[in-house]
Amino acid sequence: MTGITHHIPDNLLIAYAAGTLPNPFALVVAAHVSLCDDCRARLAAHEAAGGAIIEQSAPQEVSASLRDRVLDALDAPFEMPAPQPRHGVYPGPVMEALKGHPPKWKPIGMGNRQCIIDHGAEGSVRLLWIAPGQAVPDHGHNGLELTLVLQGAFADETGRFGPGDLEVADADLEHTPIAAEGAPCICLAATDAALKFNSFLPRMLQPLFRI
């Protein structure tokens, strides 16, 4: 996808390559990488660097049985996985997380909707459907929030984000995202802590919407 101007920071790519990124954030990174040639190339470079570090590490003794199992696994036939197809605006990793089904939208007020993909100890990841011209209530962050635009666009105090763009928000950012006119803004958003809404009504409804 061309026209992407907001990319994944290196620290998140490195954590994703190392397999240490929490699952909600890993899904957003995987979805962005599936759309962005630049970040896909950078991820490959980080993976190659990680492999070189492992190769240069001091060798460790292993048992003969473990060595034999590893060698047998290397000799086993390998079938390259097929590319993940997109389903409309949804990248392959998102469709895999949805188990191949379209999102089940639930209203969250002001004409907006959400579909919670996962919610647990590591955080939450959800799809958001924001009506054109509609604002998300003003809020700050108790942790990290990654928001990937899949359709439409939104703008806030930091700039404009269109399809494929990723916004990284932390405790230093307080913002009021507003969906652009035109197509509804569909985003994939992950958080590791509850948002800090400034208005009473969003705070009151927050436990119901798990956001």
Fold of 1-81+90-211: Jelly Rolls (2.60.120)
Give me the residue label for tokens 């997109």: 86
What is the rounded average pLDDT of the residues 29-46? 95
Task: Examine the pLDDT at 90 and tell me if it is beyond 70.
Answer: yes
Looking at per-residue pLDDT, the higher value among 48 and 145 belongs to: 145
How sure is the predictor about 58, in pLDDT bands with cuts at 50, 70 and 90? low
Angle at 57 between CA 52 and CA 59, to 5 degrees: 125
Q: How far apart are CA 147 and CA 25, in angstroms?
A: 10
Give me the residue label for tokens 């907006």: 112
| pTM for this prediction | 0.82
Task: Examine the pLDDT at 4 and tell me if it is beyond 70.
Answer: yes
